């Protein structure tokens, strides 16, 4: 049985949508999805490992991994503010 590989352009389009969604919501779940999609793009057979494109995605992945804990903390603070007000 052969596993189906998602088209690279579909992953890139979805990544753009998720980044836009995160900008509107700040959701840690969306941040996690961005990280997951960046990882899938980097692992995709049509992404040359030594390309400028791959290096850009690696830099984005590092930045999103740094952002994720802050996003989660902001969500907790927002939930606490709602509970206590």
List, for residues 23-69, the tens digit of each pLDDT value. Answer: 999 999 999 999 999 999 999 999 999 999 999 999 999 999 998 76
Q: Is 25 helix (H, G, I), strand (E, B) or coil?
A: helix
pLDDT at 68: 74
pLDDT at 84: 47
Lowest-pLDDT range, 5-9, 35-39, 68-72?
A: 68-72
Please, which residues have CB within 8 angstroms of residue 72's CB and are 6 or more apart in sequence? Answer: 28, 31
Listed residue (51, 22, 24) closest to 37, CA to CA: 22
Please, which residues have CB within 8 angstroms of residue 69's CB and are 6 or more apart in sequence? Answer: none
Question: Is there a contact between 45 and 22 (Cβ–Cβ < 8 Å)?
Answer: no
pLDDT at 13: 97
Listed residue (37, 43, 84) closest to 65, CA to CA: 37
Question: What is the rounded average pLDDT of the residues 5-24?
Answer: 96
């Amino acid at each position: 049985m052969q596993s189906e590989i998602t088209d690279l352009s579909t992953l890139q389009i979805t990544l753009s949508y998720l980044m836009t969604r995160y900008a509107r919501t700040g959701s840690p779940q969306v941040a996690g999805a961005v990280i997951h999609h960046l990882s899938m793009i980097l692992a995709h057979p049509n992404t040359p490992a030594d390309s400028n494109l791959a290096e850009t995605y690696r830099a984005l992945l590092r930045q999103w991994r740094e952002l994720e804990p802050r996003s989660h903390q902001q969500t907790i603070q927002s939930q606490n503010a709602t509970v206590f007000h």
